Amino acid sequence: MDFERDLNPAQRQAALTTEGPMLVIAGAGSGKTRTIVYRLAHLVSDGVDPAAILLLTFTRKAAQEMLTRAGMLLAMGPSGVASVSGGTFHAFAFATLRRYHAAAGFPDGFTVLDQADSEDILGQAKDTLGIGKGDRSFPRKSAVLGLLSKARNKELDVGDVLSREAFHLLPYAGDIARIGERYTAFKAENRLLDYDDLLFTLERTLTEHPDLLDYLRQHHRYVMVDEYQDTNRVQARLTRLLAPTSGNVMAVGDDAQSIYAFRGATVDNILDFPELFPGTLVVKLEQNYRSTQPILSLTNAILQNAGRKYDKKLFTTREDGPQPELLRPFSDLTQAAMAAAKIRELSSRYPLHEIAVLFRAGYQSYALEVELGKTGIPFQKFGGLKFSDAAHVKDVLSYLRLVRNTADFPAWSRVLAFVPGIGPKTATKIFNAIQSGDRAVLGKMAAKSQEFRALIEFLDTLRALPPSPAQLLERVIEAYAPLLAEKYPEDYPRRQAGLEQLQQIAAAYADLDAMLADLVLENPDEDRKKTREDHVVLSTVHSAKGLEWSAVLVIDLVDERFPSRHALSRPEDLEEERRLLYVACTRAREHLTLFAPETIYQRQTGGCAPALPSIFLRELPPGTLPERRERLGGGSAAAFAACPPPSAPATAVRSRLTRPAEAPHLTGAPAPRKAPTGKMGYCRHKIFGRGKIIAMLDDGKCRVNFPDFGPKVILADYLEMEDAS
C-alpha cells in the first residue's frame, strides 16, 4: 500500500490525519471509499486494534461495501473484517441493545419488528380503536406507518407532518396520532421494537447509563460515519454521544447526494458538524475518478439549477468519452423494448454486470423485466421483494420468534392463521388470553379444536429444545412442509428451496436472537446477489447509491414519475428529486442513456397520457443533451431519428442559468391558457397547483384531483387549462 502513489493530496490528508474531529466533503466518485479504507489501514498499521474502530453508515449497501473493501485491503480475510466494529446505525443499535438489554429495560430480551410486522400491529390498533371503519379515504396502514415513522424521524408531531406534506389527510391527524399512541403502547407492553425504536432506545439507554456510555467511548477510540448527509437527528445525536473522549470522529458525506430527507435526514448535520466538534478539520475531495468529462458536464449542469448548493468543482482527467444521450420512445411500453435493445447493443462492449438500469420507484421496471425475460437477457433487481419478506419465510420465522417472545403479536397471527376456523378475530382473542394468562379461553379453544391443541403442543416442544437456530428450524420446517404445499400448490417447490436456503443461513448462527434480528436488519439475499456475474442490474436510484457501472440507463424521466408526482408541490421535495437524478447520472463511468417516453400509461384512465420530459431535463441549456425520437418505421434503438437541437435564443439560455430558484411547478410548463371547456385534462389552480380534471359538474364546477391535496370541487373560473402537449 503506497499512500503517496495511490492517493491525491486531499485524500492523503484525510487518510493520514487520525487525531481530532474531521469532516470530509466527498463529491461523487471522488474516491471516498478508497480514502476511508486507506485510513483504516493506516490506523491498523499504527497498532490500533480494529475492534476499537467503529464504522457507521445509514444503508446496508454502504456498510457492506466498506467492510468488504476494508477486509480485502487489510488482507485479513473474513475474520479480520468482522473485527472492525460497524454496520448500519440500526444494526449497531441492535447489537448494543442486545448486549446490554437489561440496561435498556428488557431483562428478557426483545424482538425487532420489520415493516410488515409494524403494519400488522397498526392494523390491529386501528381495529381496536374502531377508527376509520367504512371510510374509504382513510389512509391504509402502510401509509399510516409511513406518516408515523416520518413524524418520528423528523421529530415533529403528526399534525405538523400532515400540514407540511399531506394536506388532504389533515382531518385525520387526531385519529392517526391515536393509532400511533396505541401502537407505541402495544410495543412497550410486548417488548417489541421497530426500526425507529432501535435508534431512540439506544439513545435513551446511553443517556440513562453514563457508565455504559463511558465504557463505549473508551472502547471505540475511532468513530467514522459514512454518508453523513443521510443521517437524521437521532443519528447525529448518537454520533455525538458515541464520539470518543479523544474527539477522533470522522464524518464523510456529500450534500449534493442527500436523498433521504423523506425520512428525516438533514444536510444540517453536515453543516453543523464543525460547530458540534470544535477544531474540526474540513477536507474536500473534488477530483472525480469515475466518470468521463461529458458525463460530468451533464451532471454539473443538472446541479447548476439547484436552489441551494455548496461550492464543489468536480473535475476529471478523463476528457474523452461518448456524449450522454436522451432517447424519446413513443410510450413507456416501447421504452422497455428500446432499453432492452440498448442493453443488447451495449453488451458487445461491456459485460452485462457492468450495465445498470436505474429508476425512481420499484414498480417502474416491471415492463422492462417482462421484456428482458422475453429476450432472454438475465437481470437482477435491487430494491425488490426482500428474501425475508416472502410469506413462507415469515411463516417459518414466526414459530421461531414465538420461542423467544410469546408476546409477539404478528408472529401469533401468522401461526394461528393456519389453524382452520381461526381468523383474525379469534387470533386476537387468543393472543389476549395468552397475554393475560386467561386459561379459560384457551381451554375452550383447545377443547374445540384438535389443530389448536396440536399447535400449542408443538410450540411447547420447541421451547423445551435447546435454542439452536438450525435444530429448531429443522423441526419447524418439518411441521410446516405440508402447510406450505397446501397454501402454495403452484410454486411450492420454489418456496421449499427458499426454506432450504434459510436452513443454510441458520447453520451459521449459534444464537437465535441474532439470527432473527439479522434477517430483519440485513438482507442475506443481497450479498449473494452481489457476487452474481453477467446479469444486468435493475435498481432504484436509492439502492444504487454508492455503486457504479460502465454503462447506465435511466428510464421514465418524465414529470410525475421522475420527479415523482408526490414531489411536485413542495420546492424542497423537488430539490431532493434533482439530487436523486444527480446520484443516478453520477453512477455512470462511460456511457449514459436517458429515456423520456412521450406518453405514459395511466392506470386511472386505462389509457395513455402525454408526458413532459422531466423538468430537470427541460431546464438544461439547449444542446447539453442530444435528443433522438423513436421513428414510426421501426422498433430498434437504431431507428431513432436525430432531432435538430432546439434553437432557443441565447438570452433565454442565460436567464435560465442565472435563475436557479424558479417556482418549480411553473418552470418549463406550457403557459396557462384557457378555462376548462368540458374537456378532461390537466389544469392549474393558484393554490393547489397542477391537477387532473376527473369530472365536469353543474354550475360551472368541476372535480379536480390534485396530487397532494386530493380531489376537490372547484369553480371552473378559477382554473386554467394546460395544453395537452
Sheet with 689-696, side-by-side order of all strands: 710-715, 701-706, 689-696, 681-685, 719-721
The size of the interface with DNA (CB under 7 A), counted in residues, is 54
- Per the CB < 8 A criterion, the answer to whether 507 and 347 are in contact is no
Interface with DNA, residue 567, by CB under 7 A = yes
Interface with DNA, residue 136, by CB under 7 A = yes
CB of residue 452 to DNA, shortest distance in Å: 11
List 32, 39, 141, 692, residue binding DNA (CB under 7 A): 141
CB of residue 24 to DNA, shortest distance in Å: 22
Q: What single-letter amino acid sits at 54?
A: L
Site string for DNA, 263-282 (x = CB under 7 A): x-------------------
Q: Alpha-carbon distance 77 to 287, whole Å?
A: 31
- Pick 472 or 567: Cβ nearer DNA: 567
Q: Which helix (H) or strand (E) holds 26?
A: strand 22-26
- Pick 90 or 220: Cβ nearer DNA: 90
- Per the CB < 8 A criterion, the answer to whether 48 and 78 are in contact is no
Q: Alpha-carbon distance 197 to 152, whole Å?
A: 9
Interface with DNA, residue 195, by CB under 7 A = yes
Sheet with 641-642, side-by-side order of all strands: 379-382, 536-540, 355-359, 549-554, 588-595, 325-328, 627-629, 641-642
Site string for DNA, 283-322 (x = CB under 7 A): ----------------------------------------
CB of residue 603 to DNA, shortest distance in Å: 4
Contacts of 275 (CB under 8 A, 6+ apart): none
Contacts of 461 (CB under 8 A, 6+ apart): 475
Burial of 6 (0-12, 13-18, 19+ CB in 10 A): middle
List 191, 290, 328, 542, residue binding DNA (CB under 7 A): 542
List 13, 347, 406, 426, residue binding DNA (CB under 7 A): 426
By CB under 7 A, the residues from 53 to 112 that bind DNA are: 58-61, 88-91
List 11, 231, 543, 586, residue binding DNA (CB under 7 A): 543
List 17, 33, 323, 564, residue binding DNA (CB under 7 A): 564
- Pick 283 or 427: Cβ nearer DNA: 427
Q: Which helix (H) or strand (E) holds 715?
A: strand 710-715
Interface with DNA, residue 119, by CB under 7 A = yes
Interface with DNA, residue 171, by CB under 7 A = no
Residue of 199, 177, 181 whose CA lies nearest to 88:
199
Scan for cell 443516478, then name that residue.
584
CB of residue 353 to DNA, shortest distance in Å: 19
CB of residue 451 to DNA, shortest distance in Å: 11
Site string for DNA, 357-376 (x = CB under 7 A): ---xxxx-------------
Of 218-226, 335-343, 445-453, 562-570, which segment contacts DNA by CB under 7 A?
A: 562-570
Interface with DNA, residue 427, by CB under 7 A = yes
List 105, 109, 247, 424, residue binding DNA (CB under 7 A): 424
- The cell for 261 is 430527507
CB of residue 543 to DNA, shortest distance in Å: 4
- Pick 265 or 400: Cβ nearer DNA: 265
List 41, 76, 129, 143, residue binding DNA (CB under 7 A): 143
- The cell for 562 is 421522475
Q: Residues annotated in the binding site for ATP, as ranges?
A: 26-33
By CB under 7 A, the residues from 504 to 533 that bind DNA are: 521, 523
Peptide bond connecting 563 to the previous residue in cis, omega within 30 degrees of 0: yes
- Pick 230 or 354: Cβ nearer DNA: 230
- The cell for 40 is 483504516
Measure CA of the first residue to CA of the last residue in the chain; give whole Å.
Answer: 58
Q: Alpha-carbon distance 223 to 18, whole Å?
A: 10
3-state secondary structure of 537: strand
The β-bridge relationship of strands 536-540 and 355-359 is parallel
Q: Alpha-carbon distance 67 to 61, whole Å?
A: 10
Q: Alpha-carbon distance 8 to 24, whole Å?
A: 14
Q: Alpha-carbon distance 663 to 644, whole Å?
A: 29
By CB under 7 A, the residues from 578 to 617 that bind DNA are: 603-604
Interface with DNA, residue 421, by CB under 7 A = yes
List 29, 132, 689, 691, residue binding DNA (CB under 7 A): 132
- Pick 274 or 710: Cβ nearer DNA: 710
Of 115-123, 305-313, 450-458, 715-723, which segment contacts DNA by CB under 7 A?
A: 115-123
Question: Read out DSSP for 423-444?
Answer: -HHHHHHHHHHHHHT-HHHHHH
Q: Alpha-carbon distance 332 to 334, whole Å?
A: 6
Q: Alpha-carbon distance 367 to 331, whole Å?
A: 11
Interface with DNA, residue 149, by CB under 7 A = yes
Interface with DNA, residue 449, by CB under 7 A = no
Residue of 400, 409, 511, 386 whose CA lies nearest to 458:
400
Interface with DNA, residue 205, by CB under 7 A = no
Q: What count of other Cβ atoms lies within 10 Å of the Cβ of residue 255?
A: 20
CB of residue 626 to DNA, shortest distance in Å: 28
Of 127-135, 300-308, 437-445, 673-681, which segment contacts DNA by CB under 7 A?
A: 127-135
Of 28-36, 291-299, 419-427, 547-555, which segment contacts DNA by CB under 7 A?
A: 419-427
Of 9-17, 559-567, 643-651, 671-679, which segment contacts DNA by CB under 7 A?
A: 559-567
Q: Residues annotated in the binding site, as ranges?
A: 26-33
Interface with DNA, residue 115, by CB under 7 A = yes
- Pick 232 or 292: Cβ nearer DNA: 232
Of 140-148, 210-218, 476-484, 658-666, which segment contacts DNA by CB under 7 A?
A: 140-148
Interface with DNA, residue 39, by CB under 7 A = no
Interface with DNA, residue 146, by CB under 7 A = yes
Interface with DNA, residue 258, by CB under 7 A = no
Question: Read out DSSP for 361-409?
Answer: SGGGGHHHHHHHHHHT--EEEESS--GGGSHHHHHHHHHHHHHH-TT-H
Interface with DNA, residue 490, by CB under 7 A = no
Q: How far is CA 217 from the centre of its chain?
A: 30
Residues that bind DNA (CB under 7 A): 58-61, 88-91, 115-116, 119, 123, 132-136, 138, 140-143, 146, 149, 195-196, 259-260, 262-263, 360-363, 383, 420-427, 521, 523, 540, 542-543, 564, 566-567, 573, 603-604
